Amino acid sequence: MAPYVYIPYVSVSNPTPWAVAGPHGQLASLTIICNLLFFVYTSGNSSINVDLTDKTDYQIFRLFLTQELLRYIVTQTNLYARQYLEKNLSDLPPHSRSKLWKDTDEAEMIQFFGLTFLMSLNSRPRLHMYWSTCPLFSSQVFGSTMPRDR
C-alpha cells in the first residue's frame, strides 16, 4: 500500500478528488472520504496537477486553505461569536474578554493559523508563555503578530 497522510478537511462546496505533485515529482492523488483527505502517492495523470518546485511553505499551505475556505472560516467564527454573546452577555463576568470581541478578518485568521503552526514547532508548557517577556520563554514573533488576549 502506498504511503498516505490524513488531513482534516472542511467541505465548503462539493469537492472532487484532485492531485498535486509529490516531493519527488510523483503525483499525490487526494480523495475525500469521511471529511478527511487521503494523500496517496502514485504515478500517472490527474485533472489537476500542481508543480511544487520552488513553492514556499505558505504557497503550499494556501493550496489547501483556499480563499473560499478562509472566508467561510472567518464568517463562521464571527457568526459563532455573535450568537455566543447574544446568548450569554448578561451572564458574563464584568471584565470578561468576550465582551471585548471584535469581528476577525481573513488577514487576522491567517496570522492565527501561522501562530498555531509555530506553536507546534516551539512548544511551551502554558499558552500564555508564548507571549512571555521572560528571557527563558520569550519569542517576539507572537507578541508582534497578535496580542495574547485577542
Over residues 31-90, the pLDDT tens digits come to 434 444 445 555 566 556 778 888 888 888 888 899 999 999 999 999 999 999 999 999
Give the bridge partners for 32, in sequence order: 37
pLDDT recorded at residue 2: 43
pLDDT at 51: 80
Q: How many residues does the chain have?
A: 150
Provide the pLDDT confidence category of residue 107 given band limits of 50, 70 and 90.
very high
Domain boundaries, the chain: 6-53, 67-145
Say if CB 26 and CB 41 are below 8 A apart: yes
Beta-bridged to residue 24, according to DSSP, are none
Average pLDDT over residues 122-127: 90
**What confidence score (pLDDT) does residue 57 get?**
86
Q: What is the dihedral of CA 17, 55, 117, 137, to 10 degrees?
A: 170
Higher pLDDT among residues 21 and 139, named by residue = 139
Confidence at residue 44, expressed as pLDDT on a 0 to 100 scale: 61
Cell (9 digits) for 84: 455566543
CB 42 within 8 A of CB 27: yes
The pLDDT of residue 45 is 60
Chain centroid to Cα 122, Å, comes to 17
Q: Give the DSSP H or E segment for 75.
A: helix 67-88
What mean pLDDT, rounded, does the chain reach? Answer: 77
Q: Which residue has the higher pLDDT, 99 or 6?
A: 99
